[in-house]
Amino acid sequence: MMKFVAGVDIGNATTEVALAKIEGKEIQFLASGIGPTTGIKGTLNNINGVFLSLKQALNKLGLDYSDLDEIRINEAAPVIGDVAMETISETIITESTVIGHNPSTPGGTGIGVGTSTLVTEISRITGEQDIIAIVPSDVDFAHAAELMNSAKKGVNVVGAIVQSDEGNLINHRLKRQIPVIDEVTMIEKVPLGMECAIEVAPIGSVVSVLSNPYGIATLFSLSSEETKRVVPIARSLIGTRSGVVIKTPEGDVKERSIKAGTITIIGAKKEIEVDVDEGAERIMEGVSSILDIEDIQGEVGTNAGNMLDKVRRVMANLTEKHKKDIKIQDLLAVDTFNPQKVKGGIADEFSLENAVGIAAMVKSDRLQMEMIAQVLTEKLRVPVFVGGVEADMAIKGALTTPGTNTPLAIVDMGAGSTDASIINREGKVKLIHLAGAGNMVSLLIQSELGLDDFEMAEDIKKYPLALVESLFHIRHEDGTAQFFEKPLDSSVFAKVVLVKENDELVPLEGVESMEKVRQVRMEAKRKVFVTNAVRSLSKVSPTGNPRDIQFVVMVGGSALDFEIPNMVTDALSEYEIVAGRGNIRGCEGPRNAVATGLAMACLEEE
What does each C-alpha distance from 262 to 37, 312, 354, 496, 529 come to in angstroms?
Answer: 34, 17, 17, 40, 25
Cβ-based nearer residue to ligand ADP, 13 or 125 = 13
Cβ-based nearer residue to Mg ion, 11 or 108 = 11
Tell whether residue 345 is a contact of Mg ion (CB under 5 A).
no
Pairing assessment for the beta strands 129-135 and 110-118 based on DSSP bridges = parallel
DSSP 8-state class, residue 295: E
Cβ-based nearer residue to Mg ion, 344 or 414 = 414
Cβ-based nearer residue to Mg ion, 398 or 508 = 398
Contacted by 376, from Mg ion, ligand ADP, none: CB < 5 to 8 Å by type = none
Instruction: State in angstroms the smallest separation of the CB of 362 from Mg ion.
Output: 16
Rounded Cα gap, residues 263 and 596, in angstroms:
39
- For the CA atoms of 399, 405, 407, 410, what is the dihedral angle to 10 degrees? -30
Instruction: State in angstroms the smallest separation of the CB of 194 from Mg ion.
Output: 59
Instruction: State in angstroms the smallest separation of the CB of 462 from ligand ADP.
Output: 4
Cβ-based nearer residue to Mg ion, 40 or 217 = 40
* Contact by Cβ (8 Å): 115, 195: yes
Cβ-based nearer residue to ligand ADP, 222 or 560 = 560
Hey, CA dihedral for 308, 309, 312, 318, is it positive or negative? negative
Among the residue ranges 32-40, 247-255, 290-298, 406-414, the one whose residues contact Mg ion (CB under 5 A): 406-414
- Of the residues 414, 438, 580, 597, which one makes contact with Mg ion according to CB under 5 A: 414
Rounded Cα gap, residues 263 and 260, in angstroms:
9
Cβ-based nearer residue to ligand ADP, 83 or 118 = 83
Instruction: State in angstroms the smallest separation of the CB of 113 from ligand ADP.
Output: 47
Binding to Mg ion, residues 471-500 (CB under 5 A)? none
* Contact by Cβ (8 Å): 553, 403: no
Cβ-based nearer residue to ligand ADP, 85 or 206 = 85
- For the CA atoms of 552, 369, 296, 305, what is the dihedral angle to 10 degrees? 120
Instruction: State in angstroms the smallest separation of the CB of 370 from ligand ADP.
Output: 20
DSSP 177-238: ---EE---TTGGGSPSSSEEEEEEPPTT---SSTTSHHHHHHHHT--HHHHHHTHHHHHHTT
Instruction: State in angstroms the smallest separation of the CB of 556 from Mg ion.
Output: 5
Q: Which spans of this chain sit near ligand ADP (rule: CB under 6 A)? A: 11-14, 37, 414-416, 438-439, 458, 461-462, 556-558, 560-561
- For the CA atoms of 498, 504, 510, 516, what is the dihedral angle to 10 degrees? 20
Hey, CA dihedral for 100, 105, 108, 114, is it positive or negative? negative
Contacted by 557, from ligand ADP, Mg ion, none: CB < 5 to 8 Å by type = ligand ADP
Question: What would the x/- binding string for Mg ion be over residues 361 to 400, using CB under 5 A?
Answer: ----------------------------------------
Angle, alpha carbons 343-344-350 (nearest 5°): 50
Cβ-based nearer residue to ligand ADP, 512 or 561 = 561
How many binding residues for Mg ion (CB under 5 A)? Answer: 2
* H runs (alpha helix) in 26-102: 46-61
Rounded Cα gap, residues 273 and 70, in angstroms:
48
Contacted by 305, from ligand ADP, Mg ion, none: CB < 5 to 8 Å by type = none
Rounded Cα gap, residues 278 and 301, in angstroms:
18
DSSP 8-state class, residue 342: P
Instruction: State in angstroms the smallest separation of the CB of 149 from ligand ADP.
Output: 56
Tell whether residue 438 is a contact of Mg ion (CB under 5 A).
no
Binding to Mg ion, residues 10-29 (CB under 5 A)? 11
Instruction: State in angstroms the smallest separation of the CB of 599 from Mg ion.
Output: 15
Contacted by 438, from ligand ADP, Mg ion, none: CB < 5 to 8 Å by type = ligand ADP
Instruction: List the one residue out of 413, 411, 432, 431 whose CA is nearest residue 423.
Output: 431
Cβ-based nearer residue to ligand ADP, 364 or 439 = 439
* Contact by Cβ (8 Å): 537, 382: no
Tell whether residue 582 is a contact of Mg ion (CB under 5 A).
no
Instruction: State in angstroms the smallest separation of the CB of 596 from ligand ADP.
Output: 13
Among the residue ranges 8-16, 142-150, 197-205, 259-267, the one whose residues contact Mg ion (CB under 5 A): 8-16
Contacted by 561, from Mg ion, ligand ADP, none: CB < 5 to 8 Å by type = ligand ADP
Instruction: State in angstroms the smallest separation of the CB of 209 from Mg ion.
Output: 48
Residue type, 385: F
Cβ-based nearer residue to ligand ADP, 85 or 207 = 85
Residues forming a β-bridge with 107 = 180
Give the residues lining the site for Mg ion (CB under 5 A).
11, 414
